Amino acid sequence: DLKMIYFVTPTYPRPEQVPELTRLAHTLMHVSRLHWIVADDQPICSDVVFDILRRSGLPYTHISSPKPFKYQISNFPRGVSNRRAALAWLRDNVHEGVLYFGDDDNTIDLQLFDEIRNTKKVSMFPVGLIGDYGVSSPVVTDGKVVAFFDSWVDSRTFPVDMAGFAINIKFLKDTADMPYKTGLEEDMFLVSLGLKIDEIEPLADNCSKILVWHTKTLTKKKPSLNIDVKMFENFQK
Ligand code: UDP
Ligand code: MN
């Protein structure tokens, strides 16, 4: 039988939130054996997010996990407290399956789900629309990951995007930790798993195909009517 995919999405309120989550929900609705964990960067789970989850018909877990106060001013790092909360929930409730971090601003080809479902330890694949190079990807030689192509390598051991890997939950040891370190979230998380480069399973045709993009819907001009969706609906009544 098919392994479950646990799809973890951190999210926060802004004008693009509902359209982004609607698009993501409509992708995930095509995937069997998928459990959506939406971790809300809010003091309480928001109604608009709950409504999208409920109407998707997907099995889901809706977690409220606002960032600690000291990260509220700079608003960096982004989506860490909520991913950490999702990891804690997984550790307490799930013992097998595959974990994937899919942000609300990503676009995913359905083919990716078939590929990540069989992840043994950690699988990796290219992500489109990342950084100055426009793609972030492992470099594969003879079916093995030997290096990384990414416009910002810095001191990172695994210079990859959050949407560029999947993990078998059995490999998610107690040491697994996502730190509050801007830009190092992916790398430090993968290092905390004790991952070695030769253990990485390259997907997407030896990392030659892009099956996920960091679409990042950005309204060039911020909408002037920056109001809550529910407020708008009530206003129309
Ligand atoms: N996010 C969040 N709280 C915030 C900012 C972002 O939960 O205050 C979420 C956001 O919805 C997304 C993820 O964290 O799913 C990454 O954020 P974003 O896409 O803004 O950052 P970037 O991709 O530029 O690192
Ligand atoms: Mn993003």
Q: Is 108 helix (H, G, I), strand (E, B) or coil?
A: strand
Which parts of the chain register pLDDT below 70?
219-232
Cβ 75 under 6 angstroms from ligand 1 = yes
pTM, 2 dp: 0.94
Q: Of all atoms in ligand 1, which is nearest to the CA of residue 20?
A: 11
Take atom 19 of ligand 1 and give the residue whose Cα is closest: 105
**Residue 70 burial (CB < 10 Å; 0-12/13-18/19+)?**
exposed
Query: pLDDT, tens digit, for every residue of 114-137?
Result: 999 999 999 999 999 999 999 999
| Number of residues that this document lists for the chain | 237
Cβ 103 under 6 angstroms from ligand 1 = yes
Q: Which phi and psi (to 5°) does residue 107 adopt?
A: -120, 135
Complex-level ipTM: 0.99
Q: Give the number of other CB atoms < 10 A from CB of residue 183.
A: 13
How far apart are the CA of 216 and the centre of ligand 1, in A?
Answer: 10
Take atom 10 of ligand 1 and give the residue whose Cα is closest: 11
In the numeric block, the tokens 């030689």 are attached to 141
